[in-house]
Structure 1
Amino acid sequence: AAEILYRRDMEVEVIYPALVASAVGYSIFGSVVGFAPIFGSYTGPFNPAALPLYAVLGAAAGLVGLLYIRAFYGIHNAFKRLRVSPYLKPALGGLLTGAIALLAPEVMGIGYGWINLLEYGRLGSLPSALPAVYLLALLPFLKIAATGLTVGSGGSGGVFAPGLFIGAFVGGDLGLLFHLAFPQLAPSIAPFVIVGMAALFGGAAKAPLSVTVMVVEMTGSFQLLPAAVIAVAVSYIVTGNNSIYRSQVPTRRDSPAHAGE
């Protein structure tokens, strides 16, 4: 909440109220649903020698994050220029998204379940008819296209959950490559999946601190915190001033809410 309004600044005054509201909301939700982390507790080993691999992951996540931003708004602008009835635009977007889903059903929905399967290395459980290796490589880009077509055509949807999905599969892609090339440094793809989520969305949304903390909260472990800090920082630098949230302003000084200060 404190970061999302600005690209290079923070709304400091909302931190304490946000902490209180989050704690109350978390307590109520957890008492009903349970307090287990969304993506399971990460208990695997962490090798500090693997930190350069996470820097590479951060760079890759930043580049894919740039593609996510530009494709999202490029598709939105293309539909805006399309000279057809406004009622037909969502139908066309849905038709094209459905065509992608025929190839890879994983692009539909929020995708948290697919992230869990990826984290635990259960790629054989994914419903797509594509071979697992091709699916792993293509899914980030298919999800980018499906999200852009859905929201850009006027359909209902957000960018947070797709951002996590895209980042998870970018992390899975590189995690698999690292595992094959450096098995001692990357014995599992799970940490790369988790850090990939944070790195991509942290760079694309210009919210590095929030998503770094999110890694700890979602996994119930501090072991991946150093890796997340490095990957998110690199991704943040790579994405530059680009953001998936166009309404963000650079700093508090540029905000109309602080114009009189």
Structure 2
Amino acid sequence: MSTATHTDLMATLREAAQAALAVLPLSAPGTITDVVGVAQAPDLGDEGTAVSASFSGAASGRVTVIVGEETLNTLLMSPEGALDPVDALRPALETVVVSLGQCALEPGVEGDPADALRAIDGGAVALVGAGGETLALIGLTLSATAVAAAAAAATATASAQATAAAAAVGAQSSGGPRRTMDLLRDVQMDVTVELGRTHMTVQDLLALTPGSVVELDRAAGSPADILVNGQLIARGEVVVVDEDYAIRITEIVTPGTEAGA
């Protein structure tokens, strides 16, 4: 695979993996920290697991999701009982494949993480991390003729793909996705309300004392961001309910418009 073609694959995977974060049942909020070649993928240890599936259609290849021990334990200790990793991770596999166009995804197969990475040799891997730790890997390999076309299609139809991805996750196909989402209903997700951000030097941090005022990058009265597992999903205004802080939803964020005010 040429350097240019591999670059296209990595760009395609980064965008697809970003969409897959919304349905990836992580043990903590995660972000896409990097996209690397398979040979540079970190080892998540022997206690994790991998789910892989081949696909064909507008593009053909193989997609893999590997989770570490903490995320696997989250699935195994669900309030409804142990979740099958194949079922729990299939929505993420589907979301990646939907971003490539009209493709048929074969049933997922659980296996050893190292073996799963070897099976996508020549592909790319998106690293999903939090707090400096890699929580999961999303791997993708495409046939050489499909890489450039998939990258162009992903860029041109990002908004439509995100909508299709949500529909695919909710659709009942092969008896998997609908059942999977039912199983995941009681899985705990971290919801964060963010008023604003700022950058500070170490010197300024060390100078903080009770009573110090830290100015944020958002005007007074601006809506707060609502994030689920680190992904922006809505905005709202802070209110008080029974002496507790709460958030009133004022806007649902449409995929692809996250940077809007």
Tell me which interval the TM-score lies in, with the shorter structure as reference length.
under 0.3
Q: Which has the larger radius of gyration?
A: 2
- Structure number with the higher strand fraction is 2
TM-score scaled by length of structure 2: 0.26
Higher relative CO (CA 8 A, sep ≥ 6), structure 1 or 2?
1
TM-score scaled by length of structure 1: 0.26
- Structure number with the higher helix fraction is 1
